[in-house]
Amino acid sequence: MEISISGRGLLCTFWKPLPLQLLRVMKLTAILLTLVCIHVSARSYEQTVSFSGKNVPLTAVFTSIEKQTGVSFFFNYALLKGTRPVTLEVRNQTIDIVLEHVLTGQGLSYYKEGKTIFILKKQEASGTAYTSDGGTTTRQIDVKGQVLNHERLPLDGATIIVKHTTKGAVTDGKGMFEIKNVPVDGVLEISYTGYQHKEVPLEGRETVSVELALANTSLDETEVIAYGTTTQRFSTSDITTVKAETIEKQPVDNPLLALEGRVPGLFIQQNSGVSGSGLSILIQGQNSITSGNDPFYVVDGVPFNSQLLPNLGGSILGYSRTGTGAFSQPGNPFSFINPADIESIAVLKGADATAIYGSRAANGAILITTKKGRAGEAKIELNLQNGWGQIDRKLDVLNLKQYLQMRHEALKNDAIITPPATSYDINGFWDSTRSTDWQKTLIGNTAEYTNLYGSISGGTTLTQYLIGATYHRETSVFPGSFADQKGDIHFNLNTSSVNQRFKVQLQGSYLADRNVLPPVDITPQAVQTAPDAPKLYNPDGSLNWAPNATGTSSWANPLASLLRTYTANSNNLVSNAILSYQLIPGLEIRSSFGYNILGSKEISQVPLTYYAPETRSSRVNTANYTNNSSNSWIVEPQISYKRILGQGRVEFLAGGTIQQGTANGLWLSGSGYSSDAELSNIQAASSVTVTSFTNSTYRYNAGFARLTYNLREKYIVNLTGRRDGSSRFGAKNEFHGFAAIGGAWIFSNETFIKNHFKALSFGKLRSSYGTTGNDQIGDYTFLNLYGSDNPGIPYQGIVGLTPLGLSNPYLQWEETKKLEFGLDLSFWKDRLSVSGNYFRNRSSNEILAYSLPIITGFSFINRNFPATVQNSGWELTLNSVNIASKAFSWSSGINITIPRNKLLAFPNLANSSYANLLIVGRSISIIKKYHFLGVNPINGEYQFGDFHGTPTYTPASTDMTAVIDPTPNYYGGLENTFGFKGFTLKFLFQFMKRIGLDDYFGVTDPGFTGYNQPNSVLNRWHRPGDITTIQRFNSNGSIGSQIGRVTGSDAAYKDASFVRLKNISLTWQLPPNWQKWAGFQNTNIFVHAQNLLTFTRYVGIDPETLSSTNLPPLRILTFGLQTTF
Amino acid sequence: MIVKNIYFFRSKVAQWIKLAIIVIGFIFSCRKFVQLQVPISNVNVGNVCSSDVTAVVAITDMADVISRWLKLTTAMITLVFIFSCQKYVQVPAPISSINVGNVYSNDPTAIAAITDIYSQMSSGTLVLASGQNSLSYFAGLAADELTLYSGVTVSAAAYLYYTNALTNVSGVDFWNSLYPAIFSINSAIEGISGSTSLTPAIRQQLLGEAFFLRALCYFYLVNLYGDVPLVTGTDYAVNSLLARSPQATVWKQIIGDLQNAKALLSGNFLDKSLLKTSTSRLRPTKYTASALLARTYLYTADWSDAKMQADSLINNNAPFTLSLVSNLNNVFLANSNEAIWQLQPVSAGIPNTLDAYYFILPSTGPNGTNNSYLSTSLLNSFENGDQRRIDWVDSAIAGGTTYYYPYKYKVNATGSSTLTTEYTMVFRLSEQYLIRAEAEANGAGNGISSAISDLNVIRNRAGLAAYSGGTDQASVLAAILHERQVELFTEWGHRWLDLKRSGTINTVMAPVCNTIKGGNWSSNWQYFPIPLTDLQADPNLAQNSGY
């Protein structure tokens, strides 16, 4: 009988084809076994044993101990052959005492690891052996051992290298390793991602148990990367990670908002202040001219959509735009991911980090990892917070006196003596002594903010769990009862077989959201309504339409807009499971299975009461309904291998991906309901039409591999390759290969540097180069499709089918070649760390609409075009611990990104349809505008330069010669953290330098009926000879079209830079004795605030949204309590 | 116990490994995976996915070399490449739209694709028959039929047609609309020809309709633009470089297509199933092909063939009644006996013809929408007592001015309560009399005398006396041209085309253009301009002279 401790010898012998029936039985057995394993593990083994027996074999003693305590014995039977029987009488003794007793004199020893006891042959005393040729050599021994973490749990996959040799091993699932023929005075170097590196001198020992401490610098903290983990120390690429402790300090409804100002190279812009708003996100600039520029998002290994399906939220939520890409939809899917469930968000930028995602990661990747359970007693964590939100800025508009002055002056300019009958604001119909601050009235309310989070987690060494739940409610700043409510459940379960080889990880989040908002943002009314406009309500509580003598309403009551409602009910499930099995130490096969479904049902209603009373008879009430659902599943089998090779360690990963995503959407419009109360019932509509119907399938298939070699923790090389296929491309080009190479040199580990630059604690030079692709062109663009065509009455009752476009079976990926160089330095034991990164990404093979003569049937075809776009830039990060005394600590961090975008090449641009949009050598974000020549001092009208520079009042589109580049010059964040006793104060300033469209010239023609204006219009032309920037006030629209021209000129694009106190948090940790008294472990009371202050010269309501038609981001202040017990 | 425990351990390992290998093998074998999906599209059968056998062999190998990691690595890399399965990433078309291969593989979708052309003609998307971009309207404005309301802005397309001041940017409606239709038709001809799964009768009819429609499109292209690129396939790479073909080549193509159509098309009108006959005259028949063939031979001066085709219609050999309708008020009704082919109105909320909707002036006179009325020269060309002047012309008096408008179509009421009583006439019998008369006057058949008798059929129906003018060829031809003017006014641009082919365009248009419209007539303007975008995109295209 041959028994082997390691599984190595077993594997080859039992591979035989299995009948299917047997397989089924085995599957069942496997499930049962798992249950048994879990059961066994739940028993404590630190028990005492009793035994009584005379002349019994050793095996009987072992069996009895196994029975009583649940430990397992492993040994080679050959060892026991020569042993004598034992006689023993013990009561409630520890295992050690019993074993000491029975093994003494048997030539055997033992050691314990976890719940396993190994019986070994006793080694002789160490010493120097003499070789046969008479020389001396260090005696060689076989070393066995175990590597444990700080919680004394085994570390699977830790690497052990015998110093100055090429020997080494990788631990198995139980943390065990064995190295043969090690010099007796050898030193083991042990390392594991996320833990401190440790050196253990053997000093003759044959068994060692090593405990690794958690990494104590951010350099060694675990960073999640594609299909694995690394640390900042050994990473060869540009990765920034934001952790839960940072995310949870920010009262945001979308986790991506927590990244603002914190990640170099990541541009984020919130496009509205309502909950669930759209976000614009770009990593290292805009690569694609017309296709999508969204990063590739992965939540727990499952790709997540970057855009919602077409929906009704457009005018209230704002769009999730990325550059000029065509794939922008309202809202953002990450509004349905709960920030409290997130453990970390990693932003992958460089080629080396992203190439393994192949055709989808040209725009970078954002990996979200959710919280996992940890072994230990059940732990309950609560985080309860409540707060308030308000708009962070208002637009400075004219006060009543200034407004009336503007209106009268406008009439005077137009030579109108009596105000027209419809100019209610100045003809005496409205009370022109009464003034209302409409921004305060309409968008100045206080939103309530509540976020309640609770979780329970714990487990044993074999099984860990976490269950978390969140309730989130955020009302709006609009008058009326609008609120976004979310409920979320998150769970994680990890379990493994007793031998820790087979592991299962299961996790999921389910979030239900009900967002009730007005369907149209009333911010424009808040900014533009005349200050003397009537009261909102009549004395009887009904809306005041202020009808004139003939019964015509004298204004559109802004609150009427709020009688319309937009309700979105969304559900999001993100789930995945990972099964893994360790074949031999270091060699693991695993497969992940993911599924997510995001569904949303919306109703947007327009009741009759929205319209002025006198017009209702000719109106119909309407409602729109959507039912959208997008789901995807993914299976990714992988194999990974890790071993010691030479003086370094090698890690190899290979795997495959099969993914399918489907999207279904239905948008129905109903009209003519008998009553407004029935608007939510589509059956009550007298007419229903299908506005749109979406159905699409996306499939993706890939094979990938990565090889990493780390030599002596100094030289690291990383090779990545992926071959992938996407259903979005034509039959001729479905598959494509992508590859990257990355390297790093940790020069601070060189002896020369160590000896001469003592202050330098860490120094690394890294670089990577590779290719990635972009397949964000929408589904089916290569197919020759026919769509339904029904102008109203089907011809002969047949709904026609018509070709939708020309197909291009040669359509293929846009390809981005990424190059980066980085230098990471840390000084004085990591007190100061500096990181610099230069990137240069070149995107080519751009997919563009290529002009065709219409004789081909269509005016364009989507084609890959040899245009090249370059994004380059510098990313700098500096972190320092300024003061670290026991009572007081102060640390700072700053990051800054200086991006540049440039169109390098565009063959035959002048003759293409992009001739007026792009310029070679300039950014692809440029916009061409009229050149403003100021106000003509003679007549007070705006003048523009035409194509030749000659002044004109009416420039044509060919006169748009001024080039505006709205790309930010630089952006970043500055964070400071102060600690004083139990108090921690953190604040983050976000800053951005750029130009943008502002409201300096007014939103409508200044002086025109009923519209208030920004203060800046007071710089108007008054009388001939005035040199001003604003044209003369005008009441009758005679020069009203000039407002469109001036806002379409270079003068309207002004400095839109800002510095914003993005986040501030003050935390007070309760004194330990108080906590102990109350039975709490970690309790603190906090104040968090978001968007507290903004410093800008921007003329407009908000420099981030750059819009006066969208609600600005809210300033949110919350108080709360966080505790663990 | 220990022995058991060890067996337990060992068998467990074995099970897990086998299970894992089988699971992975299963996942990797993507043919099975794809079989779960029933692909409704004709995916590329040449690229069959890697087989189960390959994957399983690779996995078996993996088990064998498990201790030799290098080989294992190689095997895994191989596996990764095997894994890239092309069939998997070829998705069927979405159910909201259909891939071209599927459109012509079953009857209803094939019918829907061809029917869409009629629908587009009727809705005005294909700017021939109906609406404010139609040939009746634009060509009527360009010729001497219609006068444009003075309130129309100078940049509007209508104004440019009216003042014969088209440019390569703004006078390009017909070109930009007919070529996409030709793409659809070519795609249909390719699809139907290559399809084996259509019901034979349906396949034959649809192919006939497609040939007929292509001829119809080219008929107007060659008349409006002169030499035009002859697109007969769907390959954009070829089509985007085409040069203009000489008119003779285009005419040859038209005649060939019509002969094909005539051979393929049904002899009677068909319903939506294309298998049963219908009283509605909504789908072309072989007689419709004859009608266009007669017109084509006439335009190409093939007098005897023109007469022969017209004969077949006038002799009423068809299984349906084809005769002149004596009451002029009933000529344009749905399913009129005079109709050789009609189009059903399709626009939402407009249950009758767009001609009625746009031509009939409101009592307040012309406005931005109803912005044209009959020209004085057309009104003056009606002889006294012409019933057509009474029945087919109506007027609105506004601001002391009387505006006369075409009143062939009489129902312009909107809304769902209005019944559909009129269809848009495409071909009608009276034109065939005039075609035959002209062919005879040019020597076909019995010559001048039968020409006059055919002419008199039309005159008599209009309540006019028999032709009493000169019997020389020139006089008779002039009389026929005049008769066409008053019979076919504001129908399908007949007047504009007649002026061109009769060679009278310069003498007629110069005074109209120079004095009434306020331009300076150029002979070049009888051909419309080719769009600038096409000239830029196709290096082999040349502009018509004068633009």
The residue that leads in pLDDT, A441 or A810, is A441
Q: Is the confidence at residue B253, as pLDDT, over 80?
A: yes
Cβ-based neighbour number of residue A715 at 10 Å:
15
Chain A CB contacts of B344 below 8 Å: 793, 795-796
**Residue B40 forms contact with A (CB below 8 Å):** no
Can you give the pLDDT at residue B91? 67
The reported pLDDT for the residue numbered B17 is: 61
Provide the 10 A C-beta neighbour count for residue A662.
Answer: 18
Closest-CA distance of chain A to residue B446, Å: 42
- Selected residues 64-103 of chain B with any CB under 8 Å from a CB in chain A: 64, 66-67, 69, 72-73, 76-77, 79-86, 88-101, 103
pLDDT at residue B416 greater than cutoff 80: no
Is B77 in Cβ contact with A654 (below 8 Å)? yes
pLDDT reported for residue A73: 80
User: Using 50, 70 and 90 to split pLDDT, how confident is the model at B18?
Assistant: low
Residues from chain B that touch A783, judged by Cβ atoms under 8 A, are 93, 99
Region A110-114 average pLDDT: 72
Average the pLDDT over A277-301 and give the result. Answer: 88
Residue with the bigger pLDDT between A722 and B79: it is A722
Q: Phi and psi of A201, rounded to 5°?
A: -70, 135
Considering only residues B95 and A1052, tell me which one the structure prediction assigns the higher pLDDT. Answer: A1052
* ipTM given for this complex: 0.82
Residue B364 has pLDDT above 90, yes or no: no
In the predicted model, what is the mean pLDDT of chain A?
A: 84
B62 has a pLDDT exceeding 50: no
- HSE, side-chain direction, 13 A CA sphere, residue A531: 20
What digits encode the pLDDT tens for the residues B67-86? 444 444 455 555 554 455 55
Residue of B5, B10, B11, B12 to mutate for A, most A C-beta atoms under 10 A = B12
Q: From A850, which residue of chain B is nearest by alpha-carbon distance?
A: B537
Closest partner residue to B103 among A639, A801, A859, by Cβ? A801
Whether A3 shows a pLDDT value over 60: the answer reads no
Looking at beta carbons, which residues of chain B come within 8 Å of A8?
A: 67
Looking at the partner chain, which of B18, B24, B348 has a beta carbon nearest the beta carbon of A637? B24
Characterize the bridge pairing of strands A72-74 and A116-121: parallel
* Interchain proximity B346–A584, CB inside 8 Å: no
Q: Which residues 6+ apart lie within 8 Å of B75 measured at CB?
A: B58, B61, B62, B65
Q: Which residues of B touch A502 (CB under 8 A)?
A: 16
pLDDT of residue A99: 81
d(CA A1006, CA A1043): 8
Q: List pLDDT tens digits, range A478-527.
A: 998 899 999 999 999 998 888 778 889 999 999 999 999 998 889 989 98
Weakest mean pLDDT among A157-171, A731-745, B35-49, B98-112: B35-49
Asked if A7 is an interface residue toward chain B (Cβ–Cβ < 8 A), one would say yes
| Averaged pLDDT, A287-313 | 87
Confidence label for B44 from pLDDT (cuts 50, 70 and 90) = very low
Chain B within 8 Å of A28 (Cβ-Cβ)?
no
Residues forming a β-bridge with A878: A834, A894
Which site among B236, B250, B357, B534 would you substitute to test the A interface, given the most A Cβ atoms closer than 10 Å to its Cβ?
Answer: B236
Q: Does B348 touch chain A (CB under 8 A)?
A: yes
pLDDT tens per residue, range B184-204: 999 999 999 988 889 999 999
Q: Is B226 strand, coil or helix?
A: coil
Whole-angstrom Cα distance, residue A762 to residue A400?
63
Residue of A nearest to B184 (CA): A803
Residue of A nearest to B25 (CA): A637
What tens digit of pLDDT does each residue of B107-153 get? Answer: 988 999 999 999 999 988 887 766 778 889 999 999 999 999 888 87
Instruction: Report yes or no: A854 at the B interface, CB cutoff 8 Å.
Output: yes
pLDDT band at B88 (very low <50, low <70, confident <90, very high): low
Q: Of the given ranges (A134-138, A723-727, A1036-1040, B320-324), which has the lowest mean pLDDT?
A: A134-138
CA distance A973 to chain B (A): 42
Start-end of H helices in A770-840: none
State whether A854 and B531 contact (CB < 8 Å).
Answer: yes
| pLDDT for the residue numbered A918 | 87
Q: How far is it, in rounded angstroms, from Cα A313 to Cα A477?
A: 17
Q: Which residues of B touch A23 (CB under 8 A)?
A: 18-19, 22
Interface test with B, best of A786, A789, A790, A957 (most B CBs within 10 A): A786
Q: How far apart are CA B278 and CA B344, in angstroms?
A: 13
The two tokens of residue A10 are 């077993």
Structure tokens at A305: 């959509």
Tell me the mean pLDDT in the region A424-442: 88
pLDDT over threshold 50, residue A20: no
Q: Does B189 touch chain A (CB under 8 A)?
A: no
Label residue B12 by pLDDT band (50, 70, 90).
low
pLDDT exceeds cutoff 90 at A985: yes
Q: 3-state class of B349 per DSSP?
A: coil
Tens digits of per-residue pLDDT, A1095-1104? 999 988 889 8
Min mean pLDDT across A357-366, A553-562, A908-917, B212-221 is at: A908-917
| pLDDT tier at A133, thresholds 50, 70, 90 | very low
| Residues of chain A contacting residue B1, judged by C-beta atoms under 8 Å apart | 63, 66-67
Q: Chain A partners of B115 at a C-beta cutoff of 8 Å?
A: 795-796, 798, 800
Contact B109 A723 (CB under 8 A): no
* 3-state SS, residue B156: coil
Chain A interface disruption, residue of B6, B26, B107, B119, most A CBs within 10 A: B119
The rounded radius of gyration (Å) of the Cα atoms in chain B is 32
Mean pLDDT on A555-562: 89
Give me the helices (H) in A468-583, please. Answer: 523-528
Which pLDDT band, with edges at 50, 70 and 90, does B182 fall under? very high
Chain B residues near residue A702 by CB distance under 8 angstroms? 83-84
- Partner residue opposite A30 with nearest CB, options B19, B30, B77: B19
A673: Cα separation from own chain's centroid:
43
Please state the rounded mean pLDDT for residues A10-31.
Answer: 43
- Average pLDDT for A99-105: 78
Name the average pLDDT for chain B.
82
- The sign of the CA dihedral A372, A374, A378, A382 is negative
| Chain-chain contact of A784 with B536 (C-beta, under 8 angstroms) | no
Q: What is the mean pLDDT of residues A638-660?
A: 86
B182 neighbourhood in chain A, CB within 8 Å: 857
Which residue type does A927 have? I
Report how far residue A211's alpha carbon sits from residue A189's, in angstroms, rounded to the nearest whole number. Answer: 12
CB proximity under 8 Å: B 421-480 to A: none
pLDDT winner (highest mean) among A548-562, A828-842, A1009-1023, B242-256: B242-256
- Of the listed ranges B75-79, B417-421, B466-470, the one predicted with least confidence: B75-79
Which residues from A are below 8 Å from B2, CB to CB?
A: 59, 62-63, 66, 73
Picking from B63, B96, B350, the nearest residue to A15 by CB comes out as B63
Q: Is A911 exposed, middle or buried (0-12, 13-18, 19+ CB in 10 A)?
A: exposed
pLDDT band for position B30 (50/70/90)? very low
pTM of model > 0.80:
no
Distance CA(A295)–CA(A284), nearest Å, equals 10
> What is the pLDDT confidence band of residue A724, given thresholds at 50, 70 and 90?
confident
Condensed to tens digits (0 to 9), the pLDDT of residues A956-967 reads: 878 888 899 988
Whole-number pLDDT of residue B26: 46
Between residues 663 and 692 of chain A, which touch chain B (CB distance below 8 Å)?
A: none
The 10s digit of each residue's pLDDT in A365-400 is 999 999 988 877 888 899 999 999 998 888 899 999
Query: Is B39 a residue whose pLDDT tops 70?
Result: no
Contacts with B, A 887-946, CB within 8 Å: 911
Residues from chain A contacting residue B95 (CB–CB below 8 Å): 695
List beta partners, residue A701: A658, A725
Question: What does the alpha-carbon distance between residue A237 and residue A725 come to, in Å, rounded to a whole number?
Answer: 25
HEC string for B409-477? CCCCCCCCCCCCCECEEEEEHHHHHHHHHHHHHCCCCCCHHHHHHHHHHHHHHCCCCCCCCCCCHHHHH
Alpha-carbon distance B109 to B93, whole Å? Answer: 14
B15 with A26: Cβ contact below 8 A = yes
Q: A1086 φ, ψ to 5°?
A: -140, 160
Phi, psi for residue A312 in degrees, rounded to 5: -90, 0
A462: closest CA of chain B, how far (Å): 17
Residue B407 has pLDDT above 90, yes or no: yes
Query: What's the pLDDT score for residue B96?
Result: 59
pLDDT category, A310, cuts 50, 70, 90?
confident
Q: Greater confidence, B370 or B317? A: B370
Q: Is residue B40 very low, low, confident or very high in pLDDT (cuts 50, 70, 90)?
A: very low
Residue A130 or residue A611, greater confidence: A611
Residue A526, Cβ density class (10 Å: 0-12 exposed, 13-18 middle, ≥19 buried): buried
- Are A731 and B90 a contacting pair at CB < 8 A? yes
Q: Tell me what the mean pLDDT of segment A1075-1081 comes to.
A: 78
Instruction: Please write the tens of the pLDDT for every residue from B307-332.
Output: 999 999 999 888 899 999 999 999 99
Portion 242-281 of B in contact with A at CB < 8 A = 242, 271-272, 280
- Given CB atoms, is B397 within the 8 Å cutoff of chain A? no
Per-residue pLDDT, averaged over B492-507, amounts to: 92
Give the highest mean pLDDT range of A262-266, B2-6, B521-525: A262-266
- B291 pLDDT above the threshold of 90: yes
Contact B242 A806 (CB under 8 A): no
- Which pLDDT belongs to residue A2? 36
Separation of alpha carbons A365 and A239, rounded Å? 10
Q: Is B198 helix (H, G, I), strand (E, B) or coil?
A: coil
Span B338-346, mean pLDDT? Answer: 93
DSSP states of B262-323: HHHS-SS-B-TTSSSB-SS--S--HHHHHHHHHHHHHHTT-HHHHHHHHHHHHTT-SSS---
In chain B, what is the straight-line distance between the N-terminal and C-terminal CA atoms, in Å?
102
